[in-house]
Structure 1
Amino acid sequence: MTKRTISFGYFSQQFVQSINDLCPTFYEEYDYEILNKNGNCSEEQMIEAFKKCEVFVGIRPITSAHLENAPNLKLIVTISVGYDHIDIEACKKKGIYVGYSPLHAVESTSDHALSLILATARQLYKGNKYIQDGRWTKINYEICLGRNLAKKTVGFIGFGKIGQCLAKKLYFGWGAKVLYHCTADKNIENYEFVGDVNDLFARCQIITVHLPYNKKTHHYINKEQFNKIQLDNFGKGIIFVNTSRGPIVDENALVEALNVGKVWGAGLDVFENEPKIHTGLVENENCFLTPHIGGSTIEGRYILMESILSNIKGYFKSGRPKYLVEELN
């Protein structure tokens, strides 16, 4: 029997080993190729692979042009929760399924968002740099004068699995008042739905973003929302955290809000033009920045591998990946 052809557009030793651990016979069952053993494949390698493979596994941007010469391609499996880098409409027209990994980053990204909230609230990055620069010569409690987290009003923009996981940690761990804004009221006990995103900014001391990125959410958060922020009783602005996608936020508006004090501190894991970062964020001492690592945990990586395998095996067994993107259901 002819083996089914799979092209891996991404490679790491851990990636290969994880698949082998979860399915020892995988590399015997399928005809596969690894396009680049130094990480992500090139544009040229992906285009060549599309000419022959039935399944493509990777993280590269895929447009309608890439699909024009892909006669056998039936499934794209992205190594991520988000799939905004893939032209879903083009895939739909071509009858190509897209599988993703909806669960691997739930705990890890919610933990990371919580870490960013705490690090920003307590200005831990300032303290760390102060010591590394050799400037700590005596006790000075004004160096990193932070904020308490207990009983703060926290606003969630987007309230899917990751947002709800974080909300539970904040509500039960710190007694936070949780407000959320999304497409519809989810009627979840203990949490308040807010239909107007501007109202959310006006009422909260902490804002955390958990939206998927698409045309509708591009610059969903902009100058209008930041202008609605109310300073607290100490004359301080909000803590703003984003672990979803960078282009959801107008970074120019965020920098301006930081400069005028509407945003007291920002914890960011994603950026509008990453890996390039707005200089106004890099140079602002009230920003704590991480390089898009929200989902990067050992445990999460194995859940991701399970999702990839389930998508491939589900497709070969039933004709559909296990985790099919919603727009193609």
Structure 2
Amino acid sequence: MTNGIDRRRLMKPRIIVTRRWPDAVEHILAERFDTTFNRGDAPLKPIELKAAFQAFDAILPTVSDSLPASLFPESDSRTRIIANYGVGFSHIDIDAARAQGIVVTNTPGVLTDCTADIALSLLLAVARRAGEGERQLRAGEWAGWCPTHMIGAKVTGKTIGIIGMGRIGKATAKRAHFGFDMDVVFYNRSKVDDEETRAMGARQLPTIEDVLAEADFVSLHCPGGAANRHLINAERLAAMKPGAFLINTARGDVVDQAALVAALESGKLAGAGLDVFDGEPVVPEGLTRLENVVLLPHLGSATEETRVAMGMKAVDNLTAFFDGKEVPDRVV
């Protein structure tokens, strides 16, 4: 009998996982919690996400799940923690969570290397026209080698500009400098002066415009959300060096996509490499029809090791929270 005792405290916390996660992580979640999985793996509708706040102790969303203030209950939310699967959390209204006393966590650190690898993959692919070349070959249109065929841009020895010198920004800069002898300039809101940046000879410049003016390749590694929406707009694209390249593995809303299309069509920019888009999974036709753009379907963290590690970060955050311990990766 449990007279006088809240029975819910004796039960496993009830959680919902909004998308399919790696099997190894789902197995652990099923063991530790009363878990509802989205076996169909289709994004939940807003009405389903809204209902989840009243039905579950924890919601485990991904970047594909928008949680604006309108979905949060006005009071008495059953949900006590949102354990986000990913580093970025601009899809979650943090103020609404704070007002409801809901803890929000993320999964930092474990996707740094793989996202930096994708940034360099995009940089190399767009500079050397690898996407164009593969499309031409697969279409049976390649007529054979000739001296003027599909001339691209040299990468080695050029200057890379990093916008946002956090974990991923540093990892990308390190690959560019030590792998391709690139000079590194960067912009970051706070001062960055550590062994990593000094070893690369990286120079912090006072404004984004200063970085854009010097860099042959600009790689974005800043947070998304309202504060940085269209951080790279028409004016800043115009401030880039003629013939420069833009790489984005951060968040799609950081770039004004219409302005980017215009800069690419005009020849102001030589090309762009994009792993993220504003309003995913929709990609503007203006981008898909351009040959000088390499487009990837948000593959930054898409390795088995990283996706499992992200899931285990979320498991650790949930376990600590429900055990009454300090949450490792608390955002709110």
Give TM-score, length-normalised by structure 1: 0.91
Is 1:142 the counterpart of 2:148? The answer is yes
Distance 1:133 1:294 in 2: 28
Match among 167, 178, 186 for residue 180 of structure 1: 186
In structure 2, do the counterparts of structure 1 residues 322 and 118 end up closer, same or farther at CA, with 3 Å as the change threshold?
Answer: same
Distance 1:38 1:151 in 2: 44
In structure 2, do the counterparts of structure 1 residues 161 and 270 end up closer, same or farther at CA, with 3 Å as the change threshold?
Answer: same
In structure 2, do the counterparts of structure 1 residues 2 and 123 end up closer, same or farther at CA, with 3 Å as the change threshold?
Answer: same
Contact 2:105 2:317 in 1 (8 A): yes
Q: How far did residue 265 of structure 1 move? A: 1.1
Match among 20, 23, 32 for residue 29 of structure 1: 32
Letter in 1 for 2:67: I
Is 1:58 the counterpart of 2:61? The answer is yes
Match among 68, 91, 102 for residue 96 of structure 1: 102
Distance 2:32 2:285 in 1: 49
Match among 154, 174, 179 for residue 168 of structure 1: 174
**Structure-1 residue corresponding to 2:6:** none
Contact 1:11 1:38 in 2 (8 A): yes
Match among 17, 20, 26 for residue 24 of structure 2: 17
In structure 2, do the counterparts of structure 1 residues 289 and 178 end up closer, same or farther at CA, with 3 Å as the change threshold?
Answer: same
Match among 213, 216, 222 for residue 211 of structure 1: 222
SS where residue 213 of structure 1 aligns? coil
C-alpha RMSD of matched pairs (Å): 1.7
Give TM-score, length-normalised by structure 2: 0.90
The number of aligned residues is 315
SS where residue 239 of structure 1 aligns? strand
Is 1:157 the counterpart of 2:160? The answer is no
Contact 1:58 1:78 in 2 (8 A): yes
Alignment deviations for residues 198-241 of structure 1 (CA, whole Å, 9 cap, x no partner) = 1111111110111101222111111111222333xxxxx10110
SS where residue 288 of structure 1 aligns? strand
SS where residue 7 of structure 1 aligns? strand
Is 1:41 the counterpart of 2:44? The answer is yes
Letter in 2 for 1:94: Q
SS where residue 51 of structure 1 aligns? helix
SS where residue 55 of structure 2 aligns? coil
Q: How far did residue 279 of structure 1 move? A: 2.1
**Structure-2 residue corresponding to 1:67:** 72
Q: How far did residue 296 of structure 1 move? A: 0.8
Letter in 1 for 2:13: R
SS where residue 99 of structure 2 aligns? helix
**Structure-1 residue corresponding to 2:129:** 123
Give 1:272-283 correspondences, 5 Å limit: 272-283=278-289
Distance 2:99 2:206 in 1: 34
Distance 1:245 1:310 in 2: 25
Is 1:239 the counterpart of 2:250? The answer is no
Q: How far did residue 180 of structure 1 move? A: 0.6
SS where residue 144 of structure 1 aligns? coil
Distance 2:96 2:315 in 1: 24
**Structure-1 residue corresponding to 2:301:** 295
**Stretch moving more, 107-116 or 305-314:** 305-314
SS where residue 86 of structure 2 aligns? coil
Letter in 1 for 2:69: S
Q: How far did residue 135 of structure 1 move? A: 1.0
Structure 2: stretches of 5+ with no match in the other structure? 1-9
SS where residue 147 of structure 1 aligns? coil
Identity %: 29
Contact 2:91 2:225 in 1 (8 A): no
Contact 2:163 2:187 in 1 (8 A): yes
